Copies of this chain bind each other. A is one copy, B any other.
Amino acid sequence: MNGAESLVRTLIDSGVDTCFTNPGTSEMHFVAALDKVPGMRSVLGLFEGVVTGAADGYARMAEKPAATLLHCGPGLANGIANLHNARKAGTPVVNIVGDHATWHVTYDAPLTADVEGLAAPVSRWVKTSKSSRDVAKDGAAAVAASRSYPGCVASLILPGDTAWETADGVAPRVQDCAIPEPDQLAIEAAVQRLKNGKRTAILLGGETLREQPLLIAAQISQTTGATLLAPTANARMTRGAGIVPVESVPYPVEQALAFLAEYEQIITVCAKAPVAFFAYPDKPSSLLPESCSVFEVASTEQNGVSALKKLSLLLDVDTAVDVVVHDLPPVPTEDRINPEVINAVVANRMPQNAIVIDEAITGGRSLQALTAGAAKHDLLQIVGGSIGIGPPLAVGAAVACPDRKVLALQADGSAMYTIQALWTQAREELDVTTIIYANRAYAILQHELNNVGAETGKVAENMMRLDMPTLDFVSIARGMGVPGEKVNTAEELDRAVKKGLASKGPYLIEACY
């Protein structure tokens, strides 16, 4: 058995059975091992940003890491933006990067690059295997590292010779570290704070935004009067009819400041105190009123679900919770499409247990309000702010959950960073319906101009417009094997969404406005 085979077998034994890849020559032994070893699903991406974003989407839904397989420093570089997003989302990724054979690096061949240097900014764990006999145990360590709570990018660099030379065999799975418990004193202090009569919000992040923990949070809220809030963007949040609703902090800085202005204290559970996405002249970086105190019950690396349970016990909460029932918006009938029209259609046609990818950017701002009463779904968002996550995230989520419909809500400008993901959706026959919010602009930049105080003219405006020429997403999608259609009215949109959701496999709807 060579190093590559020892690694693939070790990954499988460690619970990693899916590999998103865009391999090159230096990864051929790893690829060859995929044939020898049954049990690893390999999914090809035409661009590395697809690969890493898919690994993120997969792990968010599968609740275990996928492996990537990337080619040398530049291949890794192409995957960094979505690894950044995974890092910020706390997603486990076993990020495997093939490289030149150990002895070849000194020759400074064209693809020679500082792979560790490129991996470091997005990885919590980086290691270059030194020999084929180390690869298996390095792989097991990488899996364990990626699973350190809540999850991180563990980058394992695999020189060619460590893949093709002889290995000692498979390495045993490394036991996961226990999820760190919150500090008991912090729990007790939080209980006191929740009783102090101040206007309080509980900011819930990470795994506390799932169905069961939200129920506990609702009990706490009902008992104490604290409001439940969520960060602006979340890796995964269960929502819809029957689920305890939680409002997210708005993205626009003025709205966020107004939204949070009433609170005297914030209790955080697996969430960081809210900060502005960008800095603006004469606006604060913290979104909280100056007088508002912040108290952390559980950090993003501690067990927030356990924290909620402990809080509820100490608070002796009433377990009977009335979950607020939100109405569905009417099915839109407008002649023209706008984001509210799209989001209302989505709300009405949401399949039960759908996975909703939200990279609609400005188009998504009304999404959560309009879909609060939609069928139960999981919402996956862009936590790291690096656009171009949506199409790959949909790939990964669909691979992880073949029995659930993926509904990808996608801004047009953002889609173009990783549009190659559509090909993987077609190749793997993934059950993804994509709606393109086709406003033909980097609308968020147009919105942000006032905030940053910049005055623009024609040249600048031209840098925010995507209408010269107009992108034709239906043609692009067709070129990658994904069928679709363009719609211009609410009625056409509603019909197209129903058609996409009724079909099995990828479908793209370009909603023009």
Contacts and interface: CB of A to CB of B under 8 A. Distances in A.
20 contacts: A28-B448, A28-B452, A31-B463, A34-B460, A42-B462, A44-B462, A46-B466, A74-B84, A77-B80, A78-B78, A108-B275, A109-B275, A114-B120, A118-B121, A416-B420, A427-B469, A470-B481, A471-B479, A471-B481, A472-B480
B80 A469 contact: no
A354 interface: no
Given A104-B276, A120-B117, A454-B29, A479 B468 contact: no
Nearest to A41: B459
A480 B389 CA distance: 20
A285 B103 contact: yes
B275 A107 contact: yes
Contacts of A110: 88, 233, 277, 383-385
Contacts of A448: 25, 28
Interface in A89-148: 100-101, 103-104, 107-111, 113-114, 117-118, 120-122
A339 B339 CA distance: 47
B416 A35 contact: no
Interface in A471-491: 471-481
A121 B84 contact: no
A477 B419 CA distance: 13
A32 B452 CA distance: 11
A55 interface: no
Contacts of A21: 463
A368 interface: no
Size range of the interface on A?
Answer: 35 or more
B28 A445 contact: yes
A81 B471 CA distance: 25
Given A109-B278, A476-B475, A452 B104 contact: no
Nearest to A49: B78
Report the copy number of this chain in the oligomer.
Answer: 2
Contact of A108 (B34, B272, B462): B272
A164 interface: yes
B107 A84 contact: no
Nearest to A382: B110
A278 B164 CA distance: 14
B100 A279 contact: yes
A437 to B, nearest CB: 16
Contacts of A161: 279, 281
B386 A74 contact: yes
Contacts of A35: 456-460
A73 B84 contact: yes
Interface in A206-262: 233
A403 interface: no
Q: Which of A85, A383, A388, A476 has the most CB of B within 10 A?
A: A476
Contacts of A160: 278-279, 452
A47 interface: yes
A416 B468 contact: no
A263 to B, nearest CB: 18
Interface string A406-422: 00000001001101100
A467 to B, nearest CB: 10
B384 A107 contact: no
A416 B454 CA distance: 35
A272 B106 CA distance: 13
A356 B480 CA distance: 27
A418 to B, nearest CB: 8
Contacts of A103: 279, 285
A171 B31 CA distance: 53
Nearest to A275: B107
Contacts of A290: none
A449 interface: yes
B84 A80 contact: no
Contact of A81 (B74, B100, B454): B74
A121 B80 CA distance: 13
Q: Which of A118, A386, A388, A473 has the most CB of B within 10 A?
A: A386
Contacts of A122: 113
Contact of A385 (B111, B164, B444, B472): B111
Contacts of A469: 423, 426-427, 480-481
Contact of A78 (B383, B417, B474): B417
Given A74-B84, A121-B113, A456-B31, A278 B25 contact: yes
Closest 9 CB pairs of A and B: A469-B481, A110-B385, A476-B479, A74-B386, A35-B457, A475-B479, A101-B279, A104-B279, A77-B80
